Amino acid sequence: VRGGGYLGGEWYRSGKALNKWNSIRDFIEGVNYLRENDVIDSKRLGLITSSAGGIIAGAVLNEEKNLLQSILLFSPFINPYDTLQNPNDPLSKT
């Protein structure tokens, strides 16, 4: 999923900020690939995430409501606007 730093700077930037929809589409396409190739049992598929992963989880739920059977969020960061507008918040510096 684009936005992770594990494949270098360009990969990271291509899933961040205004490019966040790339991360969401990557996740949806990845799940669909696994379903179409019978790698997973789509009737038993869920997502567990925390922090900023809540943005992707929430968007996936809104865009593809039948993609996952369940979503479990731990301390989700699902509305970043206020946090990122606060220059004193550590999350706004990354």
Q: What is the pLDDT of residues 39-81, one digit of tens each?
A: 999 899 999 999 888 999 999 999 999 999 999 999 888 777 8
Distance, CA of 49 to CA of 56 (rounded, Å): 9
The predicted model gives 84-89 an average pLDDT of 82
pTM for the complete prediction?
A: 0.82
One DSSP character per residue, 42-93 reads GGG-EEEEEETHHHHHHHHHHH-TTS-SEEEEEEE---HHHHHH-TTSGGGG
Q: Distance between CA 24 and CA 7 in Å, rounded?
A: 17
